[in-house]
Structure 1
Amino acid sequence: MNVQIQTVHFDADSKLIDHVTRKIQKLNTFHDRIVSVDVFLKLDNLAHQIKDKIAEIRVRIPRQDLFVKHESKSFELSFDMAFESLIEQVKRKKEKKIQ
Structure 2
Amino acid sequence: MDVNIKSIHFDATEKLQDFIIKKINRLARHNESISNAEVTLKVVKPETSMNKEAGIKISVPQQDDIFASKVANSFEEAVDLSIEALERQLEKIKGRK
TM-score by length of 1: 0.89
* 2:29 corresponds to 1:32: no
Paired residues for 1:56-67 under 5 Å: 56-62=55-61, 63-67=63-67
Paired residues for 1:1-99 under 5 Å: 1-45=1-45, 49-50=47-48, 52-62=51-61, 63-97=63-97
Query: Take 1:43 and 1:49, find their aligned partners in 2: how far apart are those partners?
Result: 10
Consecutive unaligned residues of structure 1, counting only runs of 5 or more, are none
Q: Percent identity?
A: 34
SS of the counterpart of 2:65?
strand
Supply the AA of the counterpart residue of 1:50: T
Supply the AA of the counterpart residue of 2:37: V
Q: How many residues align?
A: 95
Shift of 1:3: 1.2
Query: Take 2:25 and 2:37, find their aligned partners in 1: how far apart are those partners?
Result: 10
SS of the counterpart of 1:91?
helix
Consecutive unaligned residues of structure 2, counting only runs of 5 or more, are none
Superposed CA RMSD in Å reads 1.3
Shift of 1:33: 1.1
